[in-house]
Amino acid sequence: METGNEQGQKAGLTLAEVRRGLAGVKGKKYWRSIDELAGTPEFEQAVLKEFPDAAQEWVDPVSRRGFLKLMGASMAMAGLAGCTKQPDEPIYPYVKAPEDLILGKSMYFATAYPSAAGALPLLVKSDAFRPIKVDGNPDHSYNKGTSDAYAQGTLLDLYDPDRAKKTTYRGDNRQWTEFMETWRSKLIAAKSNGGDGLALLSATVTSPTLARQWKEAQAIYPKARLVQYDPVSRDAVRAVLGAKDVQYSLTDADVILSLDADFLSGSSFPGFHKLTREYSERRKLATGAKDATMNRLYTVESTTTTTGLKAEHRLALKPSEIPAFAAALAVALGVSGAAAPSYAWTDEQARYLKALAADLKAHAGKSVVIASEQQHPSVLSLALQINEALGNDGKTVFFTDAVNPMPTEQTAELKALVNDLWSGKVDWLVMLNANPVYDAPADLNFKEAMSRAKVTVHLGKHADETGSLTDWQIPASHYLESWSDARCYDGTVSVVQPLIDPLYESHTAHEVVQAMLDEPTKSAYDAVRETWQPVLSKSGDGKSADFEMNWRKVLHAGWVDGSAYEKAATATVAKVNAPTPVGKDAIEVQFRPDPTIYDGRFANVGWLQELPKPVTSLSWDNAALMSEGTMQRAGLAEEDIVEISVNGRAVKAPVLVVPGQPENTITAYLGYGREAAGRVGSGAGYNAGLVRTSDSMAVATGATLKKIDGRWGFAVTKSHYQDHRSKFAGGQGTGNNSLEADEALTRGIIREATLEEYKADPGFANEGETHPKVEKEITLFPNWDYSTGNAWGMSIDLNSCTGCNACIVSCYAENNIAVVGKQEVRIGRNMQWLRIDAYFEGDLHAPKAHFQPMACQHCENAPCEQVCPVGATVHTPEGLNTMVYNRCVGTRYCSNNCPYKVRRFNFLLFSDYETESLKLMRNPDVTVRSRGVMEKCSYCVQRIEEAKIAADKENRPVRDGEIVTACEQACPATAITFGNLNDKTSRVHALHLNERSYGVLADQNTRPRTRYLAAVTNPNPALMESPVEVAPTAG
């Protein structure tokens, strides 16, 4: 453990070091972390090791002596292990078997994950009526089977052992019926005065049924009120469009501009699945090099996101500069009535603006400007005006009714509610799935205000910060346990159908609101049916139809046919003027939903906590993300703790440098610093909400930074799995180019070209000195003939991958991967089978990046197999590199010899064998690995076998597309394709023959079965001559 601390104590980089690092570098170069860029001694040390520091050491407090004792015992027992008898296992058959159940065969049910950004239609896999895998509904036109990291993580959220289990009143266990009695008697008493003093505070209402119930309740209790609040609100949309939403279509967009809109990195942006699919579809280059066309993405943003790094041209601006930039762009494009605040743009910024305006103008009607919802409303307003001026409305931009049934400006409403609480106007405060004590703006002091209410009720999945303070705490049902409904991005209604009976004594918001109506105990199921009875009792042509029949159809398909909103080409856009930027020297703090745990609601989901965040590869924490220059000026180093004072409040946060972050801009992800999240989420990170006030929900300006004592240890995964081979293989070893970077460049780990280069030389990915086309036949071992039968292979399109992480979480769920905890991640023991390597390129301040999903490559000539002394990793006749867990004795030779660093070792017993609720979640087709066993990507061998058995029984070959790996299934960009290489009609066969297809480190003669499609970018020639560089201001 001491070594762990030492690692945390490494000296910070100086800007001079980084500059020195950059000085000798010409042309393209890649790097993966700041340390690597500067070539610090720590980095040099790290690359020499197979696993990071201390990974080999015993971190449990077990002495060497104790260890030897244990070892002695296990040595003695080793020979006898084979002779142990299995214990008697009981079988508990059904008493009456459910009619449709075939034990051992999974069933799939359509449902939807409701979220404020629009519901995600799902098809959930159920094994013996336990939901075990959440995936997108493949028949739904919105997401076409894809999903995202949050939705995948909701499965673990359902089985979270820390969920609230009992209704409590001031800490004592009570029954739901006792609450209902109290609630009803209050309601009866309040009827005479119209419900005065009744206030409901809910998370954004996503359910049309709940909205209907509330509307009916409102009729009975006109003075009662319902306030909605989510810390990540869509207030900007409400301010600009009122009760309308804007939708984008990227299919016909040749030029896309994102104004701080992070639409490629996760479903916190509405329409993420559709937008990512449409974006990547235009980058598949399916027509071949000659007629290749692509879209072009410009991103102007304040926090480095995957959207920015995928962009052909990215401009980093301070948050307060973005509205001004949007206004300047509007002026340049001749938007009538647009006025830009005068601002001294740098030459580079001005040049970017000019080129961008020209490009947008040239693609009028075939372009789109997408604006952030977490920015000043003027950004959205100006973006929509620009779209209108360009004639994009009705082509790439549409307007519909709001997805959420009760659109309101949430922050203002919450403020009003808190005022009423202070003035004692609220008797009963009922909070539905909200956690305002944690996430309400700091200036409202919600915790104090809440205590002014006579009775407080909290319906929530966890007894969280709010639930532990309220009088009543009622366990809320998870969406996989309860009936509800919701609308997805395009307005299509999905019925949220439960997959399992509530695990605990939990209830829904529908039941609480229903108690206000005439039939107080009507179930959520009946309420949802009642809502859709009028719609489903009519057929498409307006004639009456059988409701029951239609209802069953809806449950089967997952959505209500024809319920999508009408798309309008125009809407009334409120004109909001852009405020003047606060100046280049003022430090601004931008608050954003976290890419892995959103607003904190997934804080106790271990999969998402451990998931390395895109760009920073930080897991288990948030940080004060800032640029190198900002850090230097404040006299800070990475992992230092800084006190950020803003809005008259202060918060302590650890510092992390992010490439491409604009100067004097700090990004604070929300959702961390939870105190009552549960065993996983409590205590991770810091609470950025402590300095977030109701008038600075998106950006706070005028912050001051003060270094305070102490250091923080981050669990950053990107410096793991460095490879030292190139040191011996003639790596430059200057310390400028990291070894990894050398490989990315000289050994062609990342291969890319511009569209023009690609057209001129379609075979660029397999030509030239640095991109050798390796087809070696020599090997020490006899070549295996793979020409008959199945030959599994995978193709990953680097042009499509946006690094959104959906695949990794899907892999967690499918393959029973263990969560190891922050301390173990710090020493390099994280267990994800699939990682996304981000290779940065160019200037630290204006980097480009490439995202490369990296899992076992299933080499035909696998180096790992050759060194395993016990035959625990062997090749199958179909070309899979398999792990036989029972043979593995944990020598880790295989991992040592793996050039891709994709093997994961169970140093300790990481899998949870004890917690009851987690047992229900496991995929029964995959072994739960124990201590001392190596594991890695298996190409989802359980799915391969299932499909092979189905095909064998029908005497036919496996069809292309019949086997879908978990990562492929989740990918919103359809970047991953799996199939049979011997099937000449398969997609993967064609993709492997594609001229852009290359194998990573294929010069090692590993003959990987996973191949990558080289990236092609489509830069604007006007910005090509000298790339935009935002030079750091003097440090």
Partner 1 sequence: MAQIFDRSSNALARMSLVLTGILVIALGVTLNELQRSPWVTRQGQRPDQPVPFSHRHHVQGLGLQCQYCHTSVEKSSYAGIPPTKTCMNCHAQIWTNADLLAPVRHSWATGESIPWIKVHDLPDYVYFNHSVHVNKGIGCASCHGRVDLMPLMYAQNTLQMEWCLNCHRNPGKNLRPTSEIYNMAWKAPSEEKPVWCSVTDAKTGVPTAQSVSCVTDDPTRNGATVASLEMPTAPGAGTGQAGMGEAGGGGMVMPASMMYTKFTSQKALGDFLIDQYHIRPPNQLSSCETCHR
- Binding site residues, partner 1, CB under 8 A: 79-80, 82-86, 88-97, 102-105, 789, 874, 876-878, 880, 882, 884-886, 925-927, 938, 941-942, 944-945, 949, 952-957
Read off φ and ψ for residue 390, nearest 5 degrees: -80, -5
Name the minimum Å distance from CB 955 to partner 1: 5
Q: Which is nearer to partner 1, 343 or 885 (CB)?
A: 885
Query: DSSP string of 555-576?
Result: HHHSS-TT-SPPPBS-------
Check: CB of residue 630 under 8 Å from CB of residue 664: yes
Cα separations in angstroms, 327 against 337, 363, 383, 575:
10, 19, 9, 11
Q: Which is nearer to partner 1, 27 or 90 (CB)?
A: 90
Name the minimum Å distance from CB 923 to partner 1: 10
- How far apart CA 298 and CA 877 sit, in angstroms, is 47
For residue 598, the one-letter residue type is Y
Name the minimum Å distance from CB 872 to partner 1: 9
- How far apart CA 855 and CA 1010 sit, in angstroms, is 9
Name the minimum Å distance from CB 941 to partner 1: 5
Q: Which is nearer to partner 1, 88 or 518 (CB)?
A: 88
Beta bridge partners of 838: 851
- How far apart CA 942 and CA 934 sit, in angstroms, is 18
Q: Which is nearer to partner 1, 882 or 1018 (CB)?
A: 882
Q: Which is nearer to partner 1, 90 or 540 (CB)?
A: 90
Buried b (16+ CB within 10 A) or exposed e, 749-758: bbbbbbbeeb
- How far apart CA 447 and CA 438 sit, in angstroms, is 9
Q: Which is nearer to partner 1, 679 or 887 (CB)?
A: 887
- How far apart CA 483 and CA 470 sit, in angstroms, is 26
Q: Which is nearer to partner 1, 93 or 534 (CB)?
A: 93
Name the minimum Å distance from CB 882 to partner 1: 5
H/E stretch holding 989: helix 987-993
**Residues with Cβ < 8 Å from 117, sequence gap 6 or more?**
234, 267, 268, 269, 270, 271, 272, 403, 489
Beta bridge partners of 259: 300, 371
Q: Which is nearer to partner 1, 420 or 968 (CB)?
A: 968
Beta bridge partners of 591: 668
Look-up of token digits 């098809």: 123
The token duo for 771 is 């991109």
For residue 968, the one-letter residue type is E
Q: Which is nearer to partner 1, 123 or 944 (CB)?
A: 944
Check: CB of residue 601 under 8 Å from CB of residue 701: no
Q: Which is nearer to partner 1, 222 or 871 (CB)?
A: 871
Name the minimum Å distance from CB 776 to partner 1: 25
Nearest to 156 by CA among 567, 490, 461, 496: 461
Name the minimum Å distance from CB 105 to partner 1: 5
- How far apart CA 536 and CA 527 sit, in angstroms, is 14
Q: Which is nearer to partner 1, 92 or 728 (CB)?
A: 92
Name the minimum Å distance from CB 873 to partner 1: 10
- The beta strands (E) that lie in 223-285 are given as 225-228, 244-248, 255-259
Q: Which is nearer to partner 1, 692 or 875 (CB)?
A: 875
Query: DSSP string of 97-160?
Result: --TT--TTS-EEEEEEE--TT-BEEEEEEEETTEEEEEEE-TT-TTTTT---HHHHHHHHHHT-
Name the minimum Å distance from CB 953 to partner 1: 5
Name the minimum Å distance from CB 1001 to partner 1: 24
Compute how many other C-beta atoms are within 10 angstroms of the C-beta atom of residue 983. 16
Name the minimum Å distance from CB 954 to partner 1: 4
Name the minimum Å distance from CB 862 to partner 1: 14
Q: In angstroms, what is the C-alpha Rg of the chain?
A: 28
- Reduced to 3 states (helix: H, G, I; strand: E, B; else coil), residue 625 is strand
671 class by beta-carbon count within 10 Å (0-12 exposed, 13-18 middle, 19+ buried): buried
Name the minimum Å distance from CB 967 to partner 1: 17
- How far apart CA 844 and CA 20 sit, in angstroms, is 12
Q: Which is nearer to partner 1, 430 or 947 (CB)?
A: 947
Compute how many other C-beta atoms are within 10 angstroms of the C-beta atom of residue 291. 9
Q: Which is nearer to partner 1, 103 or 909 (CB)?
A: 103
Half-sphere exposure of 985 (CA within 13 A, CB side): 5
Name the minimum Å distance from CB 557 to partner 1: 18
Read off φ and ψ for residue 909, nearest 5 degrees: -75, 90
Name the minimum Å distance from CB 41 to partner 1: 43
- Pairing type for strands 649-657 and 1010-1013 reads unpaired
48 class by beta-carbon count within 10 Å (0-12 exposed, 13-18 middle, 19+ buried): exposed
What single DSSP character describes residue 477? P
What single DSSP character describes residue 10? P
Q: Which is nearer to partner 1, 763 or 957 (CB)?
A: 957
- Pairing type for strands 649-657 and 618-619 reads unpaired
Helix axis angle for 524-536 and 208-220, nearest 10°, is 100
Name the minimum Å distance from CB 500 to partner 1: 19
Q: Which is nearer to partner 1, 86 or 1026 (CB)?
A: 86
Q: Which is nearer to partner 1, 23 or 80 (CB)?
A: 80
Read off φ and ψ for residue 5, nearest 5 degrees: -65, -40
Name the minimum Å distance from CB 94 to partner 1: 4
Name the minimum Å distance from CB 937 to partner 1: 12
- How far apart CA 411 and CA 419 sit, in angstroms, is 12
Q: Which is nearer to partner 1, 105 or 543 (CB)?
A: 105
